[in-house]
Amino acid sequence: MSHPLERPANTFCGRTRREFLWQAGGAFTSVALAGMLSKEGFLERQAFAFDGATPLARPAGGLASAIHSPINSPMAPKPTMLLGKAKSVIFIFCYGGPSHVDTFDYKPELYKHDGKTIKVKTKGRGGDKNEGRVVGPKWKFRQYGECGAWVSDLFPHVATCVDDIAFIKSMYAESPIHGSAMLMMNSGRLLGGPSMGSWVNYGLGTVNQNLPGFVVMLDSAGGPISGAKNWSSGYMPAMYQGTVLRGEGPPILDLANPEGRTDAHQRAMLDRLKMWNTRHALLRSGNSELESRIESYELAYRMQSTAPEAVDMSLETKETKELYGCDEEQTREFGNKCLLARRLVERGVRFVQIYSGGGHNDESWDAHGDLKKNHDYHAGRTDKPVAGLLKDLKRRGLLDETLVIWGGEFGRQPTAEYAEGTGRDHNSYGFTMWMAGGGIKGGVTVGQTDELGATGVDDRYHVKHLHATALQCLGLDPNHLSFFYAGLDQKLVGVEGAEPIRQLIV
């Protein structure tokens, strides 16, 4: 018997018909694949990655001069998919879950039942409960503006802006736990993925190649739970992830060259580094972290000439700083961040996220114990700066093209969490978010919670509807902005899609 690997005698080219068809078939498939890739421009891009020449022309300087041109950057500006008024987003994230029934969702019944134990279904950190002791609001509510919106005494400055604000009072989400709820609010997924800022930069690019397209500013107390996953680019290329700026002191370190190093020396060093990194990358195609590292060196070089002016607060007038509360101890830190956010979007940064609250529970809006002490502290630090941001954007003509979002990962229960004290547990059944500017109608309210604020009852809106609304305002179709991954056209609003809250859009 012949060996199983030996071929029969007198076969064509030493191959059986089955072997011949198998090998030839692979070649025919390759021809078809090459045609498809060429049609999509893939081969031209690979040729450019190898020798630095565009398909149309080879620029002087070869590899280095071609690659650090902004024209070739994935962050280059892209056309919008729809008509949208917003060009950028400022997301003020109140980490820990601000209490909607103590801020913007007025519930007179809570005052009446203060201290009483009633039947009410709640679910939070303490698990499922069917009754609880009502905690009446510790602040008074008043009506403001032509729209007559009710706002508590926690936010007297934001209250003067309600005619520019749209309130969503029936938000809900799946998780009442901080980590997963924050990832849901930031990325549309309980386990995380590309964050909202990453999606915006992926869809639109950035108009300023000399500054990051997605900036994050953390609270001085520390970052939120889940950390960098909240501003991650997930399965997208790493260049779309958020860039964290410092909350205190110089926002960006090491912008100036070391003593004795000229700009020419710096450029020559980066060109040499980029050449070696690019050669390294050619052997590891599809490594987005490596590509991002190469781009980050170039961005850092460009920022040396642009970022110092962008973050220089001394260029602002005394009156402007006072508007943001930068001259007061209580509001200085958050006021500086809000002012810097305005300066960044003014210079083309697409997405800025500012965190209020960080670190441990008592340093965030997570009021499980003393509700009044907690919310007095955090609202006192943020109220004037947020109002100053809205007013400053409006008077500069920037509010119409800047979408401002305010809120946390969920709200709070109408009942106490513990047998004693005023703290409230987490509430993902119904809570409040608000939006302003950037194509949003001012002075309107959509949805509502029940008489105690325990759950949304009318026109309930999931987190993905908030995301869809933001994308729509930016001119991005939330149901067609996708990134192919794991066999699916992934979307910020989920593969099943979601409609924007059209009552809010101008």
CATH number at residue 380: 3.40.720
Q: Do residue 323 and residue 179 come from a single domain?
A: yes
Q: Do residue 351 and residue 283 come from a single domain?
A: no
- Residue 154 pLDDT class (50, 70, 90 cuts): very high
455 is a domain residue: yes
- Give me the number of domains the chain comprises: 3
Q: Which of 292, 310, 328 is the last residue of a domain?
A: 310
Spatial distance between the Cα atoms of 270 and 278, rounded to a whole number of angstroms: 12
Q: Do residue 197 and residue 328 come from a single domain?
A: yes
95 is a domain residue: yes
Q: Do residue 257 and residue 292 come from a single domain?
A: yes
Report residue 504 as tokens.
């809010």
Q: Do residue 183 and residue 172 come from a single domain?
A: yes
Spatial distance between the Cα atoms of 206 and 200, rounded to a whole number of angstroms: 9
Say if residue 504's pLDDT is above 60.
Answer: yes
Q: Do residue 98 and residue 136 come from a single domain?
A: yes
Spatial distance between the Cα atoms of 143 and 164, rounded to a whole number of angstroms: 15
Of 2-6, 116-120, 233-237, give the lowest mean pLDDT range: 2-6
Q: What integer best gives the mean pLDDT of the chain?
A: 83
Spatial distance between the Cα atoms of 401 and 36, rounded to a whole number of angstroms: 40
486 is a domain residue: yes
Q: What's the average model confidence in pLDDT over 377-397?
A: 98
469 is a domain residue: yes
Say if residue 437's pLDDT is above 80.
Answer: yes
pLDDT digits (tens, 9 = 90+) for 316-364: 999 999 999 999 999 999 999 999 999 999 999 999 999 999 877 678 9
- Residue 47 pLDDT class (50, 70, 90 cuts): very low
Say if residue 494's pLDDT is above 90.
Answer: yes
Q: Which of 268, 288, 310 is the last residue of a domain?
A: 310
Q: Do residue 344 and residue 481 come from a single domain?
A: yes
Give the range of the structural domain holding residue 268, as residue numbers without chain letter: 253-310
Short-list 381, 287, 376, CA closest to 326: 381
Short-list 501, 406, 405, CA closest to 461: 501
Spatial distance between the Cα atoms of 181 and 173, rounded to a whole number of angstroms: 7
| pLDDT on residue 409 | 97
Alpha helices, DSSP H, located in 311-445: 318-324, 332-346, 371-395
Q: Do residue 173 and residue 321 come from a single domain?
A: yes
Using H for helix, E for strand and C for coil, what is the string for 474-491? CCCCCCCCCEEECCEEEC
Say if residue 270's pLDDT is above 80.
Answer: no
Contacts of residue 60, Cβ cutoff 8 Å, sequence gap at least 6: none
367 is a domain residue: yes
Q: Do residue 332 and residue 299 come from a single domain?
A: no
466 is a domain residue: yes
Short-list 196, 208, 205, 207, CA closest to 233: 196
**What is the b/e burial string over 358-381, where b = at least 16 CB atoms within 10 angstroms of the residue's CB?**
bbebbbbbbbbbebeebbebbbeb
Say if residue 23's pLDDT is above 90.
Answer: no
| pLDDT on residue 345 | 96
6 is a domain residue: no
User: Virtual CA dihedral for 270, 276, 281, 287, nearest 10 degrees?
Assistant: -50
Question: How big is the chain by its Cα radius of gyration, in Å?
Answer: 27
Q: Do residue 296 and residue 169 come from a single domain?
A: no
267 is a domain residue: yes
Short-list 175, 203, 201, CA closest to 188: 175
This prediction has a pTM of: 0.80
Kind plus residue range of the DSSP H or E element containing 435: strand 431-436
Spatial distance between the Cα atoms of 192 and 185, rounded to a whole number of angstroms: 9
Spatial distance between the Cα atoms of 10 and 19, rounded to a whole number of angstroms: 14
Say if residues 493 and 467 touch (Cβ distance below 8 Å): yes
Q: Do residue 237 and residue 338 come from a single domain?
A: yes
Say if residues 341 and 310 touch (Cβ distance below 8 Å): no
Q: Which of 310, 326, 350 is the last residue of a domain?
A: 310
Q: Which residue has the higher pLDDT, 50 or 434?
A: 434
Q: Do residue 175 and residue 186 come from a single domain?
A: yes
Short-list 105, 103, 102, CA closest to 416: 102
Residues forming a β-bridge with 352: 90, 215
Q: Which residue has the higher pLDDT, 423 or 44?
A: 423
Contacts of residue 448, Cβ cutoff 8 Å, sequence gap at least 6: 169, 170, 456, 457, 458, 459
Say if residue 287's pLDDT is above 80.
Answer: no
Short-list 221, 156, 216, 167, CA closest to 380: 156
pLDDT digits (tens, 9 = 90+) for 84-99: 999 999 999 999 999 9
Q: Which residue has the higher pLDDT, 450 or 295?
A: 450
Spatial distance between the Cα atoms of 383 and 390, rounded to a whole number of angstroms: 11
